[in-house]
């Protein structure tokens, strides 16, 4: 299911079809596959192949993040940072981005660097 979803998403060997990709990812997500849940979170956040729905993005990213998935953790951080389907909460955004960054997630690491550069990130909180 995950392989078919990925192929439909990227158009790898078949015509790209984001709606069909979402359908395959949804089947895998129902079975608890964190990567599929994270993919659906991203798709719902961006309205990519599905209708944009931040609440659904949060639901899928939460399921993935609670399984330790870095993409889900980074996505949740973004929702908290921007106040999408949740109250804006910088501390929660930092918490999720830190978890993702600890696993080497590049976007989460970049988000933390940006916050540090403007004096609002982890180093600023520690006084240095």
Residue 117 pLDDT: 77
In the chain the domains, ranked by start, together with CATH numbers, are 2-125 (1.25.40.10)
Helix axes 70-82, 106-117, angle to 10 degrees: 30
Distance (Å, rounded) from C-alpha 88 to C-alpha 65?
18
Residue 122 pLDDT: 60
Residue 46 pLDDT: 97
Identify the residue whose tokens are 């660097």. Answer: 113
127: left (phi over 0), alpha (psi -120 to 50) or beta: left
Residue 127 pLDDT: 44
Residue 128 pLDDT: 41
Residue 116 pLDDT: 76
- Average pLDDT along the chain, 128 residues, taken 10 residues at a time: 96 96 98 98 98 98 98 97 94 94 97 80 52
């Amino acid at each position: 299911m995950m392989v078919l979803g990925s192929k439909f998403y990227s158009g790898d060997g078949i015509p790209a079809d984001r709606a069909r990709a979402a359908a395959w990812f949804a089947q895998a997500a129902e079975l608890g596959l964190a990567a599929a849940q994270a993919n659906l979170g991203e798709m719902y956040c961006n309205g990519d192949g599905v209708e944009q729905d931040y609440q659904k993005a949060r639901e899928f990213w939460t399921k993935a993040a609670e399984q330790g998935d870095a993409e889900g953790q980074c996505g949740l951080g973004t929702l908290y940072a921007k106040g999408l389907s949740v109250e804006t909460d910088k501390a929660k955004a930092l918490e999720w981005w830190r978890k993702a960054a600890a696993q080497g997630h590049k976007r989460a690491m970049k988000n933390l660097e940006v916050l540090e550069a403007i004096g609002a990130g982890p180093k600023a909180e520690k006084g240095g």
